Every structure is written in structure tokens, then in C-alpha cells.
Structure 1
């Protein structure tokens, strides 16, 4: 997960190294609210006036030597709330969903 630098846009995409199942598991652990499954690979979080829809699309495997990492394209779409509300929802998700690294 990338950390937020600057304003949080209403809609943006990220590339994530995880399987769809790993992403969903980590999202459910990290979310400050209930995570609704709208459709396969489509999740919804609602906090106050802010709704966040997350769409996950598998993109294949990235190979780094013998290491193989599944990749996802993840689109975040916010509805309602202010930029400050979006930030308040996204920053804790980013922090909690961080993966290892050096």
C-alpha cells in the first residue's frame, strides 16, 4: 500500500501485490467499519457521510528472480464526505494493510 501524499482524490487506482483473497482478508482486518461485499471483487465501506467502493482486478504475477508475487489493480472510489473524511478513512487502512519490506 502506498501512503497518501497530498489531497485524497475521489477516485484513484493502485497496483497491489496480493491475491484477491489476501487483499480481502487484510481489508476486513484493517477496516474501522463493516466491509460489505457488493459483488465479487467489489467491497464497500461506509463511515458517516463517506462511502468508499473498492474494486479489485487480478493482473497476473510479477516475477523478481525466483520470487513470484500476485498483483492486483485496485480502484478506490469515494462518494460523499470531504477530503478530510476521505483521508480519515484511507490513512488507517493504508497503515494497517502495509506489507513487509525493508
Structure 2
């Protein structure tokens, strides 16, 4: 999970290493608000005036030696609210969903 270092745009994409089930589990644990499953691979979070739609699609496997990591393309789409509202919703998700590394 990459952290946003500048203004949070209304739409952007990321590539993450997780299965769809892992992503959904971590999203539900990390979210400061209710997570609605709109459709398979489509989640919605609403916090005040801000709505965040997250679309998840499998992209295959990344291989590092014998290690195989499933990758997902994740599209974030905000509507309503201000840039500050978007940041307030995204930063806790980023922090809680980051994975260890070394």
C-alpha cells in the first residue's frame, strides 16, 4: 500500500499484493466507517459528505524466487467532500492496511 504524499486526487489506482479475500478482510478491519459490498470486487465507504468506491480486480501473480504473491489492481474513486475529507478517510486505511517488510 503506497501512502499519498501530496493532495489526494478524486481517482487513482494502485497495485497491491493480496488476494481479493485478504483485501476485503483488511479493508473491513481498517475502515473507520461501515464497508458496503456493492458487487463482487466493489466496495463503498461513506464518511460524512465523502463517499469512496473501491474497485478490485485480480492481476495475476508476482514471483520472487520461490515466493508467489497474488496482485490486485485497486481503483479508488472519491465523490463529495473536500481534499481534506478524502485524506481523512484514506490515511487511516493506508496506515492500517500496510504490510510488513524488511
TM bin (shorter chain): over 0.9
Q: The residue matched to 2:86 in structure 1 has which SS?
A: helix
Question: What residue is the counterpart of 2:52 in the other structure?
Answer: 52
TM-score (norm 1): 0.99
Output the CA distance in 2 between the equivalents of 1:20 and 1:88. 24
Partner of 2:61: 61
Q: Which residue of 2 aligns with 1:26?
A: 26
- The alpha carbon displacement at 1:3 in A equals 0.7
User: Does 2:101 correspond to 1:94?
Assistant: no
**TM-score, normalisation: structure 2:** 0.99
Which residue in the other structure is 1:78 paired with?
78
- State the 1:96 CA deviation: 0.1
Q: CA RMSD in A?
A: 0.3
Distance 1:94 1:54 in 2: 13
- Cα distance, 1:40 vs. partner? 0.2
- Deviation of 1:38 after TM superposition, in Å, equals 0.3
